[in-house]
């Protein structure tokens, strides 16, 4: 039997990167096993519903390369108000894939559960429920429904009056399930609430909808965050009540900061969109997420895996039981490795939107600018860790710089007079080099350093700050050559004037 797994986000915001890691596991498992990866939208929480996040979620998955085999179709997406629905529509044989489109199905199952003695109607008012909760709190008990309506005669509440439908949880005994990661998990029934299954507005709760959908979409493995473990006994009871075969449960440990603290926002990056904006490559983020809580083998030291290698080597049964620590430093390192592994043409394409976003390069990029970018890329490829780094590192190629201050110009320890001399002689040398190429510039400037009897650091540091406005820049000779003779001479002259 082919495996079928799903990612079932609630469109209440963009999924947290920790949850995205769980999506990566689902996707890798599906691809490894030659099965299907389903995307289902769980929009039953109408209070927190934010329809605009549906395309954002889809765009994020697509950017990471996590393609789904089944998911909302065109009409469903249109009805959910998704713009550009054509771009995301996939469809499939078990639709609809947006839960609000499936309400009659949940209602039917809830009624079947009542008929079978596994559920009951409840018309307790919110005020009464609040009183019950307060009394329980006062007694130091966990808040639970007091089962008032469970003991009413069967016809006491008419199907036509406002009410909810609750699960009739056995009062004694235990509910047990096997989990791929945790092994046997046992819950005392006495501690399980008579969960609402169907709300008075006709919408199911998550618990009913997830079971109905996982069953009817023939999901074989439920791989989700282990914050759902406490909900699972309710699901298990529903499977038993309905006589449905249970999927395999696999509750994946949380993602934390190194040291076990809750995953904090660093510079805001906790969603795919944010990582993307901060200049991470999709393939680096995918590689990184796949290794959060999973390793391909005992003693394995390789850390860089292509998408194909990850699929080939992924093993759900080797997912770690301990929470996985999210190290931004490691992600940065990995991103640098991936950036360096790109061809310079490919890197140029990835960098272009960042240059354009910063207003340094026009949209569309004219051919003559592209020719310049093609020369810049090899100079910076070894130096950037994020695609965004390119803006700060290369802005001086595109815009005029303010002449650096005397203090900046003298930072290498020369006095003003000596610095002026260096700048003047550099200008003379650079005015004279026959061709303004890296190959011609380098030997002439090195000869100048010799003649002046100064150090490389002093002379090149001064030229660097004068022509780029920065103490750290891409390699100097290549940078000068790309800037071109005219701009270099003008910037050197402007710097000299700062020291008069």
Q: For helices 456-468 and 416-432, what crossing angle results, to 10°?
A: 80
Cα–Cα distances (Å) from 324 to 263, 286, 321, in that order, read 10, 15, 9
| Contact present, 209 and 109 (Cβ < 8 Å) | no
Residue 324 within binding range of ligand GLU, rule CB under 6 A: no
Cβ of residue 311: shortest distance to ligand GLU, in angstroms?
Answer: 22
Provide the β-strand partners of residue 98. Answer: 41
Nearer Cβ to ligand GLU, position 180 or 372?
A: 180
Nearer Cβ to ligand GLU, position 221 or 276?
A: 221
Residue linked to tokens 């150090």: 455
Cβ of residue 42: shortest distance to ligand GLU, in angstroms?
Answer: 4
Cβ of residue 26: shortest distance to ligand GLU, in angstroms?
Answer: 9
Return the active site residues. Answer: 265
User: How far from chain centre, in Å, is Cα 116?
Assistant: 43
Residue 224 within binding range of ligand GLU, rule CB under 6 A: yes
H-state helical runs in 139-223: 206-216
Between CA 219 and CA 244 the distance in angstroms is 12
Nearer Cβ to ligand GLU, position 9 or 72?
A: 9
Of 3-11, 150-158, 275-283, 319-327: span binding ligand GLU (CB under 6 A): 3-11
Provide the β-strand partners of residue 251. Answer: 224
Nearer Cβ to ligand GLU, position 163 or 221?
A: 221
> Which x/- pattern over 159-198 shows residues binding ligand GLU (rule: CB under 6 A)?
----------------------------------------
By three-state DSSP, how is residue 306 classified? coil
Cβ of residue 107: shortest distance to ligand GLU, in angstroms?
Answer: 19
Of 4-12, 281-289, 393-401, 434-442: span binding ligand GLU (CB under 6 A): 4-12
List the one residue from 49, 94, 228, 328 that touches ligand GLU (CB under 6 A).
228
Task: Catalogue the E-assigned strands of 44-107.
Answer: none
Nearer Cβ to ligand GLU, position 196 or 210?
A: 210
Nearer Cβ to ligand GLU, position 8 or 292?
A: 8
Cβ of residue 293: shortest distance to ligand GLU, in angstroms?
Answer: 16
Cα–Cα distances (Å) from 331 to 272, 287, 387, 391, 444, in that order, read 13, 9, 13, 20, 41
Q: How many helices and strands in the chain, by DSSP H and E?
A: 20, 11
Between CA 255 and CA 320 the distance in angstroms is 11
| Contact present, 348 and 301 (Cβ < 8 Å) | no
The token pair that represents 87 in the structure block: 């771009």
Residue 210 within binding range of ligand GLU, rule CB under 6 A: yes
Cβ of residue 27: shortest distance to ligand GLU, in angstroms?
Answer: 14
Identify the sign of the CA torsion 441, 442, 443, 444. Answer: positive
Cβ of residue 77: shortest distance to ligand GLU, in angstroms?
Answer: 18
Residue 205 within binding range of ligand GLU, rule CB under 6 A: no
Q: Binding to ligand GLU (CB under 6 A): which residues in 249-288?
A: none
Give, rounded to a whole angstrom, the gap between the first and last alpha carbons of the chain. Answer: 82
H-state helical runs in 116-222: 126-138, 206-216
| Contact present, 96 and 315 (Cβ < 8 Å) | no
| Contact present, 391 and 354 (Cβ < 8 Å) | yes
Of 2-10, 53-61, 325-333, 361-369: span binding ligand GLU (CB under 6 A): 2-10
445: DSSP letter: H
Site size toward ligand GLU (CB under 6 A) is: 8
Nearer Cβ to ligand GLU, position 163 or 235?
A: 235
The token pair that represents 114 in the structure block: 């009542």
Cα–Cα distances (Å) from 12 to 41, 57, 258, in that order, read 10, 10, 27
Provide the β-strand partners of residue 447. Answer: none
> Which x/- pattern over 5-34 shows residues binding ligand GLU (rule: CB under 6 A)?
---xxx------------------------
Cβ of residue 228: shortest distance to ligand GLU, in angstroms?
Answer: 5
Nearer Cβ to ligand GLU, position 247 or 461?
A: 247
Q: Binding to ligand GLU (CB under 6 A): which residues in 27-66?
A: 42
Residue 101 within binding range of ligand GLU, rule CB under 6 A: no
H-state helical runs in 153-219: 206-216
Helix (H) or strand (E) holding 233: helix 232-242
In a 10 Å sphere around its CB, with 0-12 CB exposed, 13-18 middle and 19+ buried, how is residue 202 labelled? exposed
Nearer Cβ to ligand GLU, position 38 or 466?
A: 38
Cβ of residue 312: shortest distance to ligand GLU, in angstroms?
Answer: 26
Interface residues toward ligand GLU, by CB under 6 A: 8-10, 42, 206, 210, 224, 228
């Amino acid at each position: 039997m082919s495996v079928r797994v799903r990612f079932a986000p609630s469109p209440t915001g963009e999924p947290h990167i920790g949850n995205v890691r769980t999506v990566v596991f689902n996707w890798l498992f599906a691809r490894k096993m030659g099965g299907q990866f389903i995307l289902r939208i769980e929009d039953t929480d109408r209070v927190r519903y934010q329809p605009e996040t549906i395309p954002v979620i889809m765009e994020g998955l697509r950017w990471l390369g996590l393609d789904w085999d089944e998911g909302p179709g065109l009409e469903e997406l249109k009805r959910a108000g998704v713009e550009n629905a054509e771009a995301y529509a996939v469809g499939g044989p078990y639709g609809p894939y947006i839960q609000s489109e499936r309400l009659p199905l949940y209602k039917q199952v809830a009624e079947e559960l009542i008929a079978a003695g596994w559920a009951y109607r409840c018309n307790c008012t919110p005020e009464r429920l609040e009183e019950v909760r307060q009394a329980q709190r006062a007694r130091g008990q966990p808040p639970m429904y007091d089962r008032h309506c469970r003991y009413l005669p069967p016809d006491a509440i008419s199907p036509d009056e406002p009410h909810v439908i609750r699960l009739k949880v056995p009062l004694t005994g235990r509910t047990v399930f096997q989990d791929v990661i945790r092994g046997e998990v046992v819950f005392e029934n006495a501690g399980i609430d008579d969960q609402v299954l169907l709300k008075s507005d006709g919408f199911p709760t998550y618990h009913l909808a997830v079971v109905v959908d996982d069953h009817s979409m023939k999901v074989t493995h439920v791989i989700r965050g282990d914050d759902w473990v406490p909900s699972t006994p309710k699901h298990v009871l529903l499977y038993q009540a309905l006589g449905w075969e249970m999927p395999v449960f696999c509750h994946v440990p949380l993602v934390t900061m190194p040291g076990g603290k809750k995953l904090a926002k660093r510079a805001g990056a906790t969603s795919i969109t944010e990582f993307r904006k901060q200049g991470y490559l999709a393939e680096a983020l995918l590689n990184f997420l796949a290794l959060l809580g999973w390793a391909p083998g005992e003693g394995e030291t390789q850390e860089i895996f292509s998408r194909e290698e990850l699929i080939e080597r992924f093993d759900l049964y080797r997912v770690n039981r301990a929470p996985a620590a999210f190290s931004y430093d490691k992600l940065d390192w990995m991103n640098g490795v991936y950036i360096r592994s790109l061809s310079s043409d490919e890197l140029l394409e990835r960098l272009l939107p960042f240059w354009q976003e910063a207003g340094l390069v026009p949209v569309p990029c004219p051919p003559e600018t592209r020719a310049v970018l093609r020369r810049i890329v090899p100079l910076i490829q070894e130096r950037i860790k994020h695609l965004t780094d390119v803006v700060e590192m290369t802005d001086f190629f595109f815009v005029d710089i303010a002449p650096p201050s005397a203090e900046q110009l003298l930072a290498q320890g020369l006095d003003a007079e000596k610095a002026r001399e260096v700048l003047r002689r550099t200008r003379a040398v650079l005015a004279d080099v026959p061709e303004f190429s890296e190959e011609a510039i380098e030997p002439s400037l090195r000869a100048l350093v010799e003649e002046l009897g100064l150090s490389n650091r002093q002379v090149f540091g001064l030229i660097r700050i004068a022509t780029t406005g920065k103490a750290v820049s891409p390699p100097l000779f290549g940078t000068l050559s790309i800037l071109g003779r005219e701009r270099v001479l003008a910037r050197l002259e402007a710097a000299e004037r700062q020291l008069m």
